[in-house]
């Protein structure tokens, strides 16, 4: 049962425990508060007591679980959970339920997800493109909370299936994914996934390829290597993904100056600004002009 809940809610074992604790404590508090309210109402008729009690606890329960979730750190999960529950009860359609987007994007990320958030924000009002899935290989990554906050379906992947199994191709196809964006995803993309989405997977690299690319060249390692080499400029490269690290054809590059005062940390900030400015725009342009 617990494994089914983990897969259904896309959470780690630790988070599942906190969610279940929130449900339990919130339910107990709901019962206590509900009885106190009924005592204040002093309803003598049994025929009236039961339906009114049901209404009271139904109204109190969401507030109790949200309150408890603040202490268990699961507020975003329960906010989204209650939102979905409300739509089911009242048969409300989601804002994009009447649209049929031409492109359904999966964002693969391993970290905080700042690029993922910028991409989500950019396409929020573009009806032809939908961020349909967030894929991650680290349960503790910040992008998990972004997926919850944005109410975007989430897929947690593990190495055995990704590299030696079906590479989660069936799950991507079931979600209708037509295009994949790697936004700080640290695993090499397996051949099975490349074959299925040939020339439909792109990555952003924090340097001017072909320099400072390849295995092990990511994040701070790239910026440290650039600084140590006393380069005068660095930048970003958006490129197609093929069978080799940072090797696919370049789509776009943007540059920034490196001063004598720059460190790996300050260069990283410059690179992040370029990523946030250009990555969403390049994705939109690519989709409009090629697909």
Q: Which residues are catalytic?
A: 205
Instruction: Verify cis geometry, omega within 30 degrees of 0, for the bond prior to 210.
Output: yes
- What whole-number distance in Å separates Cα of residue 62 and Cα of residue 58? 8
Q: What SS3 state is found at 249?
A: coil
Pairing mode, strands 201-205 and 233-240: antiparallel
Closest by alpha carbon to 188, among 212, 153, 213? 213
In 87-128, beta strands by DSSP E: 103-109
Q: Which two tokens stand for residue 245?
A: 């690290």
Q: Please tell me the distance from the alpha carbon of residue 184 to that of residue 87, in angstroms, as a whole number.
A: 33
Q: How far is residue 145's CA from residue 151's CA, in Å, rounded to a whole number?
A: 10
């Amino acid at each position: 049962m617990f494994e089914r809940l983990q897969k259904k809610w896309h959470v780690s074992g630790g988070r599942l425990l906190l969610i279940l604790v929130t449900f339990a404590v919130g339910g107990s508090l709901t019962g206590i508060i509900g009885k106190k309210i009924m005592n204040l109402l002093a309803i003598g008729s049994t025929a009236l007591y039961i339906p009114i009690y049901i209404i009271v606890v139904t109204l109190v329960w969401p507030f109790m679980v949200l309150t408890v979730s603040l202490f268990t750190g699961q507020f975003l999960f329960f906010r989204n959970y209650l939102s979905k529950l409300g739509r089911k009860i009242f048969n409300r359609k989601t804002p994009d339920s009447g649209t049929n987007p031409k492109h359904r994007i999966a964002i693969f990320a391993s970290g905080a997800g700042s690029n993922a958030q910028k991409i989500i924000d950019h396409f929020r009002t573009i009806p032809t493109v939908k961020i349909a899935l967030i894929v991650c290989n680290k349960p503790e990554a910040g992008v998990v909370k972004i997926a919850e906050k944005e109410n975007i379906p989430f897929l947690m992947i593990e190495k055995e299936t990704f590299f030696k199994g079906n590479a989660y191709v069936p799950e991507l196809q079931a979600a209708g994914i037509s295009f994949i964006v790697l936004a700080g995803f640290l695993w090499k993309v397996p051949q099975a996934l490349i074959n299925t989405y040939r020339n439909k997977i792109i990555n952003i690299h924090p340097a001017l390829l072909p320099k400072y690319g390849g295995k092990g060249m990511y994040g701070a390692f790239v910026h440290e290597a650039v600084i140590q080499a006393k380069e005068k400029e660095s930048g970003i490269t958006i490129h197609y993904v093929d069978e080799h690290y940072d090797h696919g054809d370049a789509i776009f590059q943007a540059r920034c100056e490196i001063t004598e005062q720059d460190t790996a940390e300050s260069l990283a900030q410059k690179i992040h600004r370029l990523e946030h400015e250009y990555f969403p725009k390049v994705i939109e342009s690519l989709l409009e002009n090629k697909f």
